[in-house]
Amino acid sequence: MIKRSKGERIFAAFNTVFLSALLIVTLYPCLYVLFASFSDPVDLYNGSKLLLYPRGFNVINYKHVFKEALLWTGYANTIFYTIVGTIVCVLLTTFAAYGLSRRGLPGKNLMIMLMTFSMYFSGGMIPNFLIVRNLGLLDTRLAMILPGAINTFNFIIELTYFKGMPQELEEAAKIDGANHFTVLFKIMMPLAKASIAVIALYYAVAFWNDYVTALLYVNKQELYPLQLVLREILFQGTLDAQAASNVDQADAVSETIKYATMVVSTIPILCVYPFIQKYFVQGVMIGAVKG
Amino acid sequence: MTSKLKMGKAKQGMPVSTKSLWKRMVEFWEVYLLLLPVALYYIIFKYVPMFGNVIAFQDYSITRGILQSEFVGLKHFTSFLNDVYFWRLLKNTLMINLYGLLFAFPAPIILALLLNEVRCTPFKRSVQTITYMPHFISAVVVCGMILDFISPNGLVNSVLNAFGIESKKFITDPQYFYGVYTVMDIWQGIGWGSIIYISALSGIDAELYEASAIDGASRWQQTLRITLPCLLPTIAICLIMRVGQMLSTGFEKIILLYNPAIYSTSDVISTYVYRKGILGGEYSFSAAVGLFNSIINFLLLVFANWFSKKATGSGMF
Amino acid sequence: MAKCKRLVSFVLCGVMALSFAGCDKKETTPSSDAIDTISVFCGRSASLSEEMKDYNDVASFQKMEELTGVKVEWTLPPASGYDEKFNLMIASGNYTDVIVSSWKAQGAEKFHKDGIIINLLDYKEHMPNFMAYTEAHPEFAKDYISTDGKLLYFPYIRENLESNVFYGPLMRQDWLDKLGLEVPTTSEELYQVLKAFKEKDPNGNGEADEIPMTGVGASGVGLLLNMFSTHHGFYLDGDKVVYGLLEDNFTEGISYIAKLYEEGLLDADYVFQDRAKQDGKITNNKAGFMYSYQPTTISNAMAEKDPNFKLVGIPNLKNKEGKRVTYYSAYATSVLPSGAAAITTACKNPAAAVKWLDSFYSKEGIEAMNFGIEGETYTKENGECVFTDLVMNNPERSVSKMFDRTSGVFNSYFPSVQLWESYSKSLSSYGKAAIETWADGTDISGILPSINFTEEEKKKVADYMAQITTYADETVDQIILGQKPVSALNEARAKIKEMGMDEVLKIYQAAYDRYDKTNVSF
């Protein structure tokens, strides 16, 4: 490694300080949610929301959340939707990105244009529902996955990446007699790992957080994803329709339970990122090895 | 059969342009096969439901459906354009997005570049992982915390007071809203937004750095000459997409952050339509406003794409 | 080519689906009057989400099944997605037999005209209990009979005034005692008390950190306006519908609130804080006065923490004429806007469905819906229903949790009659006392009842009011916060008239007159 100049060292010091500050600032809200989830509901709002440790430590909030009958089926369903959905979405998006990044493909730009267009002019809830119903997908697991199978934004991200890959690779493979399927699966996909990892993360997070699809297309509780199950807890006491009700929902669900709910529902997906990070570094490694 | 085709194609090679369209299409049959499910998906789940936009030109009634509802032409569009608050809503929507474009858009890029300079991998990974976490905290919590920090007796004002600066009315004085919203946006989105750039950075060939280091380039020069140009296509695409959202706003966050006293800067198109909806507004009005936004957004996107192609050579289509 | 055909047929099927949505009505076939199951679409109460699957797990509905022999198949959309599910059901044309919704707000007449719900009066002879109830309580009928004399849904009724009076002024009695002050009854006395709270350190921590009054939003602190015989929004002045901001009293009322704010007697956070934060200030000895819900939750939570803590409901404050007027609409909402059950045209046997719904208004039905199962959740002593220890002293669950499992009128919004006799049992002694205090001598004659607009009127009102409320809310908050002088009201009055306020008032007046003249005899 080449020795760093004085300016670079000053920059490195400044950089470390700055990033550490950012680290603290972004860590705080996460700690806040965690602390609040272990707090006593009455002590939580001591005038200010600033929280540096759990106020009146207890685990009653978690007991409440874990009592939820549908919690575990919700977890299982969400994991299923996330894994299967992400695989389907990544494959389809990669097909689209690979196909539409081929030079000289007739109709290429028209199709990209039409795909982008559809991002803006969706038909709304009711037409989408009728399509899903007419395809016989209501109350099936497929209804959770198919309607959102390609996200145009993610497609464009991957398209950009594929466009930037050296064309010679493909040509060399073609001369060796490879067809497009071989080129895609054996050459391009391994090389595009970093980009595929990003869109996989985007899809996984979207599936993990999705409750709207289930709300619209699924009636059977045994198919409910975690977020829909837990949203009921978060939603208690804020129902407009119950505004005229004399039953005080504040009692049923305290703020602290809501925080416990958030912790329970987000911890697993947070753990995905460190695994994805691996691919970001690997890209650099390949380059280095080649060099 | 397939092997023959393959062989034939490999032999033919370039140039492409002299061949007839049909021949070229046949040549790409495998690619079209890959694209078939994609096309089907878009037709079934995107284009067929698109007919639902018709209700923007109707007095749509849920009990009558699309066929029986009465057509009213551009009534809802004109009613929106003639609303006393139309220009204010448009201005606020655009201003919030402009702030986003100027500050919230570059923030993740800067973070990615700074992270790229960090040598200590554990530190780098911790910063990456932790800055990305606020993305998962619900808007209610994030906005609640922001409000608490900037409230009259909150943390920010206490700090200001400690430096001898008078307390500021961040929440009730209209002049601060764009700033408050943008800060929150950055706070919550910087780490999440940087992922795409971090991934793009990892795709840069390390050879390039080594070669330039041998030429005696400093880190700063390397950043300017290698890193940024390599990031440019990604930045350009993200920027185009961002420009294509100039008329959309994070509705939920604004609802949570604003109050009537600062409507003059915080009331945006979506919040106004929402309030009107509560009063008994109809589907058709919100559909018309949505369509209006989409058209403008799409035109902006097409324009940004055209511009980017001219300026940087890369664009979406 | 086959591919192409398939595409075309996909497209066509989509278009057809869209086109025929909404006209997919089913024929009704009258048959014998016995049914054994009935499908019901109803909001999923939040309290169900843990442990209970559907309302069949609630004692009341078990008892009702026993009484009527009818099994219910519940379709319970998640509470957070009720509207979406409702709209999708209507749009797709697959209705359940019975739909529980906020029918008045949905526009029941439109749904009837377009052939989705039936006029229940066509089956008058099958609803003896409901007819008897209506006769015995004609005061509620205006609210649920449509202006052209139809009955389109069975309503949820809160029979006693006390059940409606669950919101009002709450004060820290222990602070008053400490400072040797009397409960304030007028605006001037209230001002003095708040001033004392600020200056005399009632929380005893040696710092002047008290926030004398707290609240949530302009509407929350807006109940102070009642002392000046006015209110935010629409109310009645005799038989005339008026809009608060346009009235002279409003100037005085807003000046009062602005003064409280200026002198630091009103929480500076009122514009943006939520209820949890407001309550936190009360329970943590920071704030002494607020308008809020009856204090059962707070007093239960504080009972162990601080035995000296006393948050009590004080009588609604008097106006200049010495009347305890209030314009809080719930006070006059005996017929709930939500929890109304209509029978759809998809119902195979409407007569039997009517008969079933009617049983919820019989003496046994009301008792079951309020108290659950006799001998299990309640017993009768001298003709009065008394909850058993299973409900009131359950070692595992709080009273409110047990109410959720016991009483249909509390967690389901399924139409029946809610009685104070049972509601009061869910309250703490502070909660019950507060409600009794608020109900005593309160004057609710100025509250605008829930009037019905026609489609046309509704659209017009929404068009005008979107602009007007934006302008009004903005101005009112700016005046309270001291950003604008009180005289800005004059400008605001001119401005909202320009925005069409006169037209809106005309529509309101016409709707109220129609409401007033509704013929309640069937």
Nearest Cβ partner of B261 from C7, C114, C478?
A: C478
CB contact under 8 A, A8 and B219: yes
What mean pLDDT comes out for the span B7-22? 55
Percent of chain C with pLDDT over 90: 65
| pLDDT single digits (tens) C323-368 | 999 999 889 989 988 889 999 999 999 999 999 999 999 999 999 9
> For residue B281, is pLDDT > 80?
no
**Given 3-state DSSP classes, what are the helix, strand and coil percentages for chain A, each rounded to the nearest 5?**
75, 0, 25
Mean pLDDT of chain C: 88
- pLDDT value of position C170: 96
pLDDT at residue B183, rounded to an integer = 95
Chain C residue with the nearest C-alpha to that of A49: C277
Checking if the pLDDT of B163 tops 90, the result is yes
Q: B40: which chain C residues are within 8 Å (Cβ-Cβ)?
A: 7, 10
For B178-225, the pLDDT digits (tens) are: 999 999 999 999 999 999 999 888 878 778 888 888 888 888 888 888
**pLDDT of res. A253:** 61
Percent of chain A exceeding pLDDT 70 equals 87
Contact C467 B85 (CB under 8 A): yes
Whether B153 sits inside 8 A of C268 (CB atoms) is yes
A118 at the B interface (CB within 8 A)? yes
Percentages helix, strand, coil for chain C (3-state, rounded to 5) are: 50, 15, 35
d(CA A122, CA C372): 48
CB contact under 8 A, C91 and A129: yes
C15, pLDDT greater than 50: no
pLDDT for res A255: 78
Query: According to the model, what pLDDT value does residue B5 have?
Result: 39
CA B60 to chain centre: 30
CA–CA min distance B80, chain C (Å): 10
Strand, helix or coil at A179? coil
Mean per-residue pLDDT, B130-158:
90
Q: Do B136 and A123 touch (CB under 8 A)?
A: no
CB-based contact C46 A235, cutoff 8 Å: yes
Average the pLDDT over C470-497 and give the result. 95
Residue A250's pLDDT band (boundaries 50, 70, 90)?
low
Higher pLDDT among residues A280 and C361, named by residue: C361
Any chains having at least 3 CB pairs less than 8 A from chain B are A, C
Whose CA is closest to C52, among C401, C302, C314, C503?
C401
Q: What is the largest CA-CA distance in chain A?
A: 77
DSSP state of C41: E
Confidence of residue C1 (pLDDT cuts 50, 70, 90): very low
Q: Which residue has the higher pLDDT, A279 or C315?
A: C315
Reported pTM: 0.89
Of the given ranges (B12-21, B84-93, B250-259), which has the lowest mean pLDDT? Answer: B12-21
The pLDDT of residue B294 is above 90:
yes
Say yes or no for a CB contact (<8 Å) between C336 and A244. Answer: yes
Note whether C338 contacts A: Cβ–Cβ < 8 A: yes
Find the CB nearest A67 among C50, C336, C426. Answer: C50
**Interacting residues of C288 by C-beta distance below 8 A, sequence separation 6+:** C171, C172, C175, C194, C197, C202, C210, C211, C212, C213, C282
> What b/e readout covers B191-207, taking b as 16+ CB neighbours within 10 angstroms?
bbbbbbbbbbbbbbbbe
- Please judge whether A121 and B142 are an interchain contact, meaning their C-beta atoms are less than 8 angstroms apart: no
Cα of A164 to nearest chain C Cα, Å = 33
**Cβ atoms of C236 and C210 closer than 8 Å:** no
ipTM above 0.85, yes or no: yes
Query: Residue B43: which of C10, C15, C218 has the nearest Cβ?
Result: C10
Instruction: Say if strands C157-158 and C240-243 run parallel, antiparallel, or are unpaired.
Output: unpaired
Query: From CA C496, how far away is CA C233, in angstroms rounded?
Result: 13
Q: What are phi and psi of C168, to 5 degrees?
A: 180, -170
pLDDT, tens only, A69-114: 788 999 999 999 999 999 999 999 999 999 999 988 999 999 999 9
CB-based contact, C425 to chain A, within 8 Å: no
> Which B residues, 233 through 262, put their C-beta within 8 Å of a C-beta on chain C?
259-261
Q: Does B275 touch chain C (CB under 8 A)?
A: yes
A121 to chain B, closest Cα gap in Å:
6
Q: Which of A39, A45, A65, A137 to mutate to test the interface with C (most CBs of C within 10 A)?
A: A45
Instruction: Determine the pLDDT at residue A233.
Output: 74
Dihedrals phi, psi of A286, to nearest 5 degrees: -60, -50
pLDDT for the residue C274: 84
Selected residue with higher pLDDT from A166 and C115: C115
A126 Ramachandran zone, left/alpha/beta (phi>0; psi -120 to 50): alpha
Q: What is the pLDDT of residues B23-81, one digit of tens each?
A: 888 888 999 999 999 999 999 999 999 999 999 999 988 888 888 889 999 999 999 99
- C443 alpha-carbon distance from chain centroid: 19
The CA-atom distances, in angstroms, between C7 and each of A108, C4, C100 are 20, 5, 40
As a whole number, the mean pLDDT across chain A is 85
State mean pLDDT over B244-251: 90
Hey, is C151 helix, strand or coil?
Answer: strand
How distant is the Cα of A248 from the closest Cα of chain C, in angstroms?
A: 8
DSSP chain B: -HHHHHHHHHHH-S--TTS-HHHHHHHTHHHHHHHHHHHHHHIIIIITGGGGGGGGGEE--TTTHHHHSEE-TTHHHHHHHTSTTHHHHHHHHHHHHHHIIIIITHHHHHHHHHHHT---HHHHHHHHHHHHGGGGS-HHHHHHHHHHHHSTTSHHHHHHHHTTPPP--TTT-GGGHHHHHHHHHHHHHHHHHHHHHHHHHHTS-HHHHHHHHHTT--HHHHIIIIIHHHHHHHHHHHHHHHHTTTT---HHHHHHH--GGGHHHH--HHHHHHHHHHTT--HHHHHHHHHHHHHHHHHHHHHHHHHHHHHHS----
Is B123 in Cβ contact with A283 (below 8 Å)? no
Say if residues C359 and C68 touch (Cβ distance below 8 Å). Answer: yes
Question: Which of B154, B210, B298 shows the shortest C-beta gap to A117?
Answer: B298
- DSSP H or E stretch at residue C293: strand C287-293
Please give, rounded to a whole number of angstroms, the shortest distance from the CA of A143 to a CA of chain B. 11
b/e sequence B214-236, b meaning 16+ C-beta within 10 Å: eeebebeebeeebbeebbbbbbb
For B285, residues 6+ apart whose C-beta sits below 8 A from its C-beta are: B76, B79, B80, B273, B276
The interface residues of chain A toward chain B in range 140-169, judged by CB-CB distance below 8 A, are 146-147, 149-150, 153, 156-157, 159-161, 163-164
Among C81, C42, C97, C1, smallest CA distance to C355 is for C97
Mutate to test the interface with A, among C88, C279, C290, C436 (most CBs of A within 10 A): C88
Q: Which residue has the higher pLDDT, A145 or C218?
A: A145
Does residue A244 surpass a pLDDT of 80? no
For the beta carbon of residue A17, count every other beta carbon within 10 angstroms.
10
CA distances from C58 to A72, A247, C372 (A): 23, 16, 8
Residue with the larger pLDDT of the pair C13 and C211: C211
| Mutant choice from A40, A42, A72, A223 vs C, greatest count of C C-beta within 10 A | A42
Whole-angstrom CA distances from C501 to A75, C177, C450 are 52, 47, 19
Q: Is the pLDDT of residue C414 over 70?
A: yes
C268 touches chain A (CB under 8 A): no
Single out the residue of B136, B65, B30 nearest to residue C20, CA to CA: B65
Asked whether the predicted pLDDT for residue A200 surpasses 90, the reply is yes
CA distances in angstroms from C53 to A98, B24, C76, listed in the order given: 47, 60, 10
CB distance A291 to B206 below 8 Å: yes
Chain A nearest CA to B52, separation (Å): 4
pLDDT band of C33, cuts 50, 70, 90 = low
Distance CA C6, CA C8 (A): 5
